[in-house]
């Protein structure tokens, strides 16, 4: 009886094979490879699953290849051909399961339809469209919005390649759908005349329509700025960024004497509230403030970056194709690296000002590797202090490079004075050892930035200086995280430590808040990582021609850079937001210079973007609460 059952089962598969051949299938090697399961002794479900696996096996290298092209293009020029091959392998590995699921889903839909109305000619073609259409849409959108500035020829070539890949993957998917229809009904749908060419022609209009979508703006790295003149002005400018400071905190401390100098500066200057979305990381926030461009343009979005095994260059977050992005986060053995400036081609305030005037910048996110400005000046990157503390050799941590040794010598000499100053301000606090340690680390970071900027501003040629103070944000984040488990004593310790630290900042920055007659002082405060959406940051402007006690309009982060450029007498770029419409700065004659098309793009390094210090720096970022 068992032999008779097996013979009957074999006869049924012989019938399926015969019908497939009669309907025009099994004529080519790939078709026989894909539909082999339908003419072998396997259950219908198993046959469909195996067919989907084979289709995914054929399509994964194609999809992985074109995704690798997009990844290399958006991370150019740091990624090369060798990196692209490795990324291709990883992406093909990730694309396989995605295509397998898509093919099975399309086959399931066609099988359900066939179960109601029977097998019909063109069922396979419909299954191919169900896979090819969303795949093509994803590919073109990925390219169109993620890789600006490559030119029309590159866009056309990629669209043609995406069309071919989507058609090829859809052509393979059609046989999975045919297998599903056969398994559901036992009938073999007529082949029809619609093949690969017809599938391509149906997909073509989608690719053409997507070219009509608005394109994310972009310019190539290293593009020089448009010619422009700077308004003659004797004024200098000091720009201080305080992370972790917001209007609510200022109001809470106003009656305790902790922000007296800040309040006096607000009365004597103009204040502009700022508003942004919560949940952003400091590198994204401050790079937006300093460049006047959104994250999709400046490309700095996180504290860290990911690097695949075998690929030295980090792949910036937010640019990887969806399968690779998921893999970087959860599946693949990627390496986490500190954020760098290698992906940022737009210029910061100090780099724009440095086109015409010497500038000084200290401690800003993603400022490594340091680059010299055309007009000279100084850059101290966010990696300089951690390396000095570790006695590590300099590696593009400052510009000029010789500045690194000078900073090291000064740091060693100033350590006793810094420690004495810390004891004067915080030594009497009734705080435990852990709170004192956290306070000391924040104090060290901000003291270094302020002291270094002050030293660099002693150079009479420097026309503007920019320093970033992350200590308050670090302190708030670490202490608030500790308070949850420390009880009432921890709450009191936290309140006391925060109040004293803000008072120290108020004292240290206080001299700048009352600038000399020829100097502008700009203080930018952001709520930091503890922002919940209820807090507001602010921009305080003091200096000649600034209306005292004036409250300006609420600024978006991208409006801060144009405001500062206006104070410097620089023209606004048409790529940036306009100068804020306010009467608070009318007397400063800011924003009156005619706009120019662009400040161009900075050159980005093509090699040496990985440092031996990266692992140690990641540990430091983790200890400061930036990396979980």
Beta bridge partners of 519: 236
Contact at 8 Å (CB) between 30 and 287?
Answer: no
As a whole-number percent, the residues of the chain with pLDDT over 90 amount to 37
User: pLDDT by residue (tens digit) across 490-512?
Assistant: 778 888 999 999 999 999 998 65
Number of residues that make up the chain: 628
Give the confidence band of 467 by pLDDT, cuts at 50, 70, 90: very high
CB atoms closer than 10 angstroms to residue 58: 17
pLDDT of 608: 61
This model's pTM is above 0.85: no
Beta bridge partners of 240: 467, 523
Contact at 8 Å (CB) between 598 and 574?
Answer: yes
Contact at 8 Å (CB) between 463 and 359?
Answer: yes
Average pLDDT of the chain, as a whole number: 81
User: pLDDT by residue (tens digit) across 153-175?
Assistant: 777 788 888 888 988 998 888 88
Give the confidence band of 344 by pLDDT, cuts at 50, 70, 90: confident
Contact at 8 Å (CB) between 298 and 288?
Answer: yes
Q: In the predicted model, what is the mean pLDDT of residues 344-356?
A: 92
Q: Which DSSP state fits 301?
A: -
Who has greater pLDDT, 308 or 360? Answer: 360
> Does 17 score more than 70 pLDDT?
no
Question: Of the ranges 50-64, 190-204, 427-441, which is most confident?
Answer: 50-64
> Does 140 score more than 60 pLDDT?
yes
User: pLDDT by residue (tens digit) across 605-625?
Assistant: 655 667 778 888 888 988 888
> Does 221 score more than 80 pLDDT?
no
Contact at 8 Å (CB) between 572 and 591?
Answer: yes
Rg (CA), the chain: 31
Q: In the predicted model, what is the mean pLDDT of residues 432-456?
A: 93
d(CA 202, CA 125): 11
pLDDT of 327: 46
Give the confidence band of 105 by pLDDT, cuts at 50, 70, 90: very high
pLDDT of 118: 78
User: pLDDT by residue (tens digit) across 522-566?
Assistant: 999 999 988 777 778 999 999 988 999 999 999 999 999 999 998
Contact at 8 Å (CB) between 596 and 347?
Answer: no
User: pLDDT by residue (tens digit) across 475-491?
Assistant: 999 888 666 666 676 77
- C-alpha distances in angstroms, 600 versus 566, 577, 603, 605? 18, 16, 10, 16
pLDDT of 66: 86
pLDDT of 253: 94
Q: Is residue 369 reached through a cis peptide bond, with omega within 30 degrees of 0 on the bond before it?
A: yes
d(CA 319, CA 74): 7
User: pLDDT by residue (tens digit) across 259-318?
Assistant: 999 999 999 999 999 998 888 899 999 999 999 999 888 888 888 766 665 565 666 555
Lowest pLDDT segment from 100-109, 112-121, 241-250, 352-361:
112-121
């Amino acid at each position: 009886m068992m032999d008779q059952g097996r013979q009957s089962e074999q006869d049924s598969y012989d019938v399926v094979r015969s019908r497939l051949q009669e309907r025009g299938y099994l004529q080519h090697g790939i078709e026989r490879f894909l539909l082999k399961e339908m003419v072998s002794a396997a259950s219908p479900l198993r046959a469909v699953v195996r067919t989907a696996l084979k289709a995914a096996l054929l399509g994964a290298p194609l999809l992985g290849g074109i995704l690798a092209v997009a990844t290399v293009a958006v991370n150019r020029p740091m990624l090369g051909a060798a990196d692209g091959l490795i990324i291709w392998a990883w992406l093909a590995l990730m694309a396989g399961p995605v295509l397998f699921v898509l093919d099975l889903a399309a086959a399931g839909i066609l099988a359900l339809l066939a179960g109601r109305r029977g097998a019909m000619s063109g069922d396979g073609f419909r299954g191919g469209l169900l896979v090819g259409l969303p795949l093509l849409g994803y590919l073109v959108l990925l390219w169109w919005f993620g890789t600006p500035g490559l030119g029309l020829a590159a866009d056309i070539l990629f669209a043609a390649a995406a069309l071919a890949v989507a058609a090829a993957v859809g052509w393979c998917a059609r046989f999975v759908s045919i297998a599903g229809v056969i398994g559901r009904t036992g009938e073999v749908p007529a082949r029809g005349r619609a093949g690969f060419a017809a599938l391509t022609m149906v997909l073509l209009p989608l690719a053409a329509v997507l070219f009509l979508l608005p394109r994310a703006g972009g310019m190539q790295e290293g593009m020089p700025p448009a010619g422009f003149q700077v308004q003659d002005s004797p004024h200098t400018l000091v720009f201080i960024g305080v992370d972790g400071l917001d209007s609510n905190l200022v109001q809470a401390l106003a009656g305790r004497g902790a922000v007296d100098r800040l309040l006096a500066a607000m009365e004597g200057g103009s204040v502009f509230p700022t508003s942004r979305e919560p949940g952003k990381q400091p590198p994204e926030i401050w790079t937006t403030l300093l460049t006047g461009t959104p994250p999709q343009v400046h490309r700095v979005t996180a504290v860290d970056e990911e690097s695949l095994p075998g690929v030295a260059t980090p792949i910036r977050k937010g640019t990887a194709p969806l399968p690779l992005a998921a893999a970087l986060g959860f599946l693949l053995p990627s390496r986490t690296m500190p954020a760098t400036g290698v992906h940022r081609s737009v210029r910061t305030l100090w780099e724009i000002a440095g086109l015409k005037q010497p500038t000084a910048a200290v401690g800003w996110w993603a400022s490594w590797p340091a680059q010299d400005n055309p007009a000279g000046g100084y850059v101290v990157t966010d990696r300089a202090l951690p390396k000095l503390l570790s006695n590590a050799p300099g590696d593009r941590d400052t510009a000029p490079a010789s500045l690194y040794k000078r900073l090291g010598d000064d740091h060693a000499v100033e350590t006793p004075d810094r420690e004495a100053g810390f004891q004067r301000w915080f030594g009497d606090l009734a705080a435990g050892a852990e709170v004192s340690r956290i306070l000391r680390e924040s104090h060290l970071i901000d003291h270094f930035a302020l002291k270094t900027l002050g030293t660099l501003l002693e150079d009479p040629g420097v026309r503007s200086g920019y320093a970033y103070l992350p200590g308050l944000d670090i302190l708030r984040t670490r202490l608030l995280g500790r308070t949850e488990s420390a009880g009432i004593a921890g709450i009191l310790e936290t309140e006391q430590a925060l109040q004293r630290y803000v008072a120290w900042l108020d004292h240290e920055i206080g001299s700048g808040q009352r600038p000399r007659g020829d100097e502008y002082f700009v203080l930018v405060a952001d709520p930091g990582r503890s922002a919940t959406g209820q807090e507001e940051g602010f921009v305080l402007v003091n200096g000649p021609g600034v209306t005292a006690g004036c409250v300006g309009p609420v600024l978006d982060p991208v409006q801060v850079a144009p405001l500062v450029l206006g104070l410097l007498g620089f023209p606004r770029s048409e790529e940036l937001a306009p100068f804020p419409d306010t009467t608070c700065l009318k007397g400063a004659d800011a924003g009156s210079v005619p706009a120019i098309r662009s400040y161009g793009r900075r050159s980005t390094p093509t090699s040496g973007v990985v440092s031996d210090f990266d692992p140690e720096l990641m540990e430091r970022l983790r200890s400061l609460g930036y990396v979980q």
